[in-house]
Amino acid sequence: QVSNPKNITVPMGRYMAYKVTTKIELVVAVQESRGATVEVTQVHWIAPEIGAIKTTFSQREFDSNGSFTGTLSSELEAVEVNF
């Protein structure tokens, strides 16, 4: 999914950027974890003529009964461009 451009501020400055969101759901198919799921969401803010200026990643895990078991998330922001 791609949004209309929005002003985004990162340590490198303020830019008009498109928000690009990707969501994936994985189903585990190995023995003792069979049926567990992992939901992965990645969001990238892309500034024209610069590239990615911000990226977030989140992963939510559920057991085979659908109960939430944990999450992992990270966020990266542009500090400097060297090209």
* pLDDT digits (tens), the chain, 83 positions: 999 999 999 999 999 999 999 999 999 888 888 899 999 999 999 999 899 999 999 999 999 999 999 999 999 999 987 76
C-alpha angle 23-5-52 in degrees, rounded to nearest 5: 60
In angstroms, the CA 72 to CA 44 distance is 17
Token representation of residue 69: 């078991």
Token representation of residue 63: 């057991």
- pTM score of the predicted model: 0.80
Identify the pLDDT of residue 83. 66
Contacts of residue 73, defined as CB under 8 A and 6 or more positions apart, other chains included, come to 56, 57, 58, 59
